[in-house]
């Protein structure tokens, strides 16, 4: 089986966009791939975090992985910081990456824009991300459009190491699903729905209460006119809402367009809200059960043990090739 690795940061609340664009694909991949899904808490601290909030959100993301349908018996679910090899190979990758490569990262430019001072971790973030992937010799890495650049650096570093020290790393390929890869913000369809957006009405959090979801969808920006038509170029806002409806209700775009022909945005938004509430209700119920059961820490411990078996072996091989004296 091909090996898959992906992770989500525990900074901010996971959104419907994370669920449709990433987590639903994780669930599909686990059945015929060797999967490793982690909460990347080391990446989260590249920007300041409140300790209590980081701890709670880390556990919440891990529990949401399980609630979304990831089976710990089929896929390893773990915390990045529970496998110290991530930090060790991250440092080694930092010594191989070039300043110019890091300076070209658009995510760094975006996150650093307008700030008087920026932590070095935010700048070297792609080296740690490369280490995350290369530790497991992952064949496929599920990534959104905004992460393609980071995967390119990972591929470059794998080839650079292999050329300098001998064959070690698989050069990973991106896994970008054709549908649902990008759910946009409710207040601006030119931007991805993001858990870091300061406007809470821009996104639907996976743990939002039903009435909160209804209110956010009722306030979602729509295009001029009243036609329910999927056309991302001329009607980006309603097209985004149709995409959300399609994923949550299991209806095709054509079925949604036909259902609301001549009805306008009011009935469409009302039904969309109920579709989202219905889609998230079982996930929210499972989430509460997982947190209440006390099983989460055992699952994370087992996942980290399995991940560490591979990661530690990789670091040892890397250090041996580079000339380190091994214990």
* Catalytic sites, residue numbers: 111, 192, 195
Secondary-structure percent of the chain, ordered helix, strand, coil, rounded to 5: 55, 10, 35
Residue among 172, 163, 100, 167 at smallest CA distance from 130 = 172
Q: Which residues contact 43 (CB under 8 A, 6 or more apart)?
A: 7, 9, 80, 125, 128, 129
How far apart, in whole angstroms, are the C-alpha atoms of residue 239 and residue 295?
Answer: 40
Which H or E run contains 112?
helix 106-112
Q: Which residue's structure tokens are 């008087």?
A: 116
Nearest Cα neighbor of 155 from 87, 96, 83 is: 96
Q: Tokens standing for 247?
A: 């994923």
> If we measure between CA atoms, which residue out of 266, 216, 268, 210 comes closest to residue 239?
268
Show Cβ contacts of residue 275 under 8 Å, excluding neighbours closer than 6 positions.
Answer: 245, 248, 249
In terms of Cα–Cα distance, which of 138, 182, 186 is closest to 19?
Answer: 182
Instruction: Give the separation between CA 17 and CA 217, rounded to whole angstroms.
Output: 14
Residues 6+ apart with CB under 8 A from 200: 216
Instruction: Point out which residues pair with 36 in neighbouring strands.
Output: 5, 76
């Amino acid at each position: 089986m091909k090996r898959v690795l992906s992770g989500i940061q525990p900074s901010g609340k996971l959104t419907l966009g994370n669920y449709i664009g990433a987590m639903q694909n994780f669930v599909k991949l686990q059945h015929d791939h060797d999967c490793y899904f982690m909460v990347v808490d080391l990446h989260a601290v590249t920007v300041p975090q409140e300790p209590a909030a980081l701890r709670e959100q880390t556990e919440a993301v891990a529990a949401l992985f399980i609630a979304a349908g990831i089976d710990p018996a089929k896929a390893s679910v773990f915390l990045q910081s529970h496998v110290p090899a991530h930090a060790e190979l991250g440092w080694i990758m930092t010594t191989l990456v070039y300043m110019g490569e890091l300076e070209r990262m658009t995510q760094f430019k975006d996150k650093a824009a307008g700030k008087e001072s920026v932590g070095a971790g935010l700048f070297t973030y792609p080296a740690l991300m490369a280490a995350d992937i290369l530790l497991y010799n992952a064949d496929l890495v599920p990534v959104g459009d905004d992460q393609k650049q980071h995967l390119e650096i990972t591929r470059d570093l794998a080839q650079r190491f292999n050329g300098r020290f001998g064959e070690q790393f698989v050069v990973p390929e991106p896994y970008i699903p054709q549908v649902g890869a990008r759910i946009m913000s409710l207040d601006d369809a030119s931007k991805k729905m993001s858990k870091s957006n300061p406007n809470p009405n821009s996104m639907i959090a996976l743990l939002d209460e039903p009435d909160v979801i209804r209110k956010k969808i009722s306030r979602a920006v729509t295009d001029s006119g009243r036609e329910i038509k999927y056309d991302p170029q001329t009607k980006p806002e309603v097209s985004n809402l149709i995409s959300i409806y399609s994923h949550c209700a299991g209806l095709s775009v054509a079925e949604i367009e036909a259902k609301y022909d001549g009805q306008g945005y009011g009935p469409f938004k009302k039904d969309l809200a109920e579709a989202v509430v219905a889609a998230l209700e079982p996930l929210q119920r499972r989430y509460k059960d997982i947190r209440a059961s006390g099983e989460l820490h055992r699952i994370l411990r087992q996942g980290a043990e399995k991940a560490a078996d591979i990661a530690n072996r990789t670091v040892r091989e890397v250090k041996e090739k580079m000339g380190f004296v091994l214990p």
